[in-house]
Each structure stands twice: as structure tokens, then as C-alpha cells.
Structure 1
């Protein structure tokens, strides 16, 4: 089981959705995700999230609160994804690992092609927001 973290970042009432680069696993290649990454040894989930978002997007985040943990089994690996609601100091994004990004409201968010693990996260966000 791979421990990962994900940031649910709101920018002016829209959510930051990032498109992954090409990957050897077709089921996640070029699909959208909430940004984040792997938790390294001796690192808290919060520390990992702050580091990953800085590395991948050049953004400094505030972690507002823990949202949920999702366990998901892909064909080739399993993840435990710890998800946090976050806000930004300022929106000065620079894509280092992703190929594009979108800012979408919850009504439009499923128009994108998402990594499978994040679909459950979207459902929970919609439930929490009465959508």
C-alpha cells in the first residue's frame, strides 16, 4: 500500500484540477487529479502535501482541514490517499509535473477524465456541498 496525499485547492470557488503527464499505466496516464504525491519516510501527511504542492506546482498552501482518506486498488498497485482541504497564499502556478490544469466548480468537474481514485473524492465533495 502506497501512502499518498492530495490537496483539494479552492481558487475563487473553483477547484484546481491538474492533468497528469503520460504514464506507463494507461489508467492514470494524462488523466486529471487533485495534486499531491507520495509521503516520504519520517514525513507527516501535512509535510508531504506542502512539499509536493511546492515541487509540482510552485504553490504555497495552507492546509485548512483534513477531509477524508480513500483506499483504492489499481490493477498494479494500491494507494491510501489522505485528502486535505487547502487554500493558497497566492495563485502563481508553475506546472513542473503536470501538463495542464483547470479551475472548475463542482457542477462541471466531472466533465474531465479523472484518475479512478479521485472519482470517489469528487462524490464526497459533492455530497458535502449538497450537489
Structure 2
């Protein structure tokens, strides 16, 4: 089974968190699910560099990467991931969707209302407890 090391940005601005919705995927179980934006760490880059690069590519947004929040190990039917999630901030909530179909800025208490990708659910739960 393929394994990927990925990073996710928990981007907050004025007490709201950015949630992005994936489009149609070849894997039905992640199609149209919400996630924290991010992606794969490429050879030779740090996790923080990967996160800044991915957010700029996917959202045309500049972020500051702050603290590691949690690491999730998840096995989907066709691949597995180790996902390091980081708190990130941005001075401007404006963005441009380049790979996702929708986005929402939600308060912590409302995050559970979305249909999240399975690997992101532990992050949502931990955020809502803290």
C-alpha cells in the first residue's frame, strides 16, 4: 500500500478556521469532502516549506506556519497517510480556489457540521475539545 507524508494547515483568522472542500476524486471516499488544506511534502523541503508552498499553490494565500498541532496516521482503502497538522495564521482571509470547489470560514464550535475527509476528523475533534 502506498504511504504519503502530508501536511495540513489549520488556518485561522479572526477566530474562524478555513475549511476547503475537495472536488470529484478518483477515490469516491474523499470526493467532495472537507479538509484542512495542504499536501505532500516533496523531497528536500521541510514540512513548513511544503505547507507554505501548497497553500500558495492551492489558495493563492500567504500564511505564517506556527506550532505543530497533531499528527494523524490514517489508512484509506487505497493508500495511507501520515499527516502533520500545523496552526497557521494569515493577515488576510482572501483566497482564490485553484484546486478545491468551495470553502468556509467557521468558528471552532461549528466545524463538526461539515462532511470531513476521514483523516481530518481527528483534527476537528481535537480542536473542539481544546
Whether TM-score is above 0.5 comes out as yes
* 1:98 partnered with 2:96: no
- Selected match of 1:53 from 52, 55, 63: 55
1:90 Cα offset (Å): 1.8
- Selected match of 1:33 from 32, 35, 39: 35
Q: Secondary structure at the match of 2:73?
A: strand
1:122 alignment counterpart: 124
TM-score by length of 2: 0.95
- Selected match of 2:18 from 10, 16, 19: 16
Mapped to 1, the partners of 2:75 and 2:13 lie a distance apart of 30
Structure 1 or 2: more helix by fraction: 2
Mapped to 1, the partners of 2:17 and 2:91 lie a distance apart of 15
- 8 A contact 2:13–2:91 mirrored in 1: no
Pairwise CA RMSD: 0.8
Unaligned runs of 5+ in 2: none
1:66 alignment counterpart: 68
Give 4+ residue runs of structure 1 displaced > 6 Å after superposition: none
Q: Secondary structure at the match of 2:101?
A: strand
Unaligned runs of 5+ in 1: none
Give a deviation string over 1:88-122, Cα, whole Å, max 9, x none: 03222000000000011121111111100000011
TM-score by length of 1: 0.95
Count of residues in correspondence between the two structures:
128
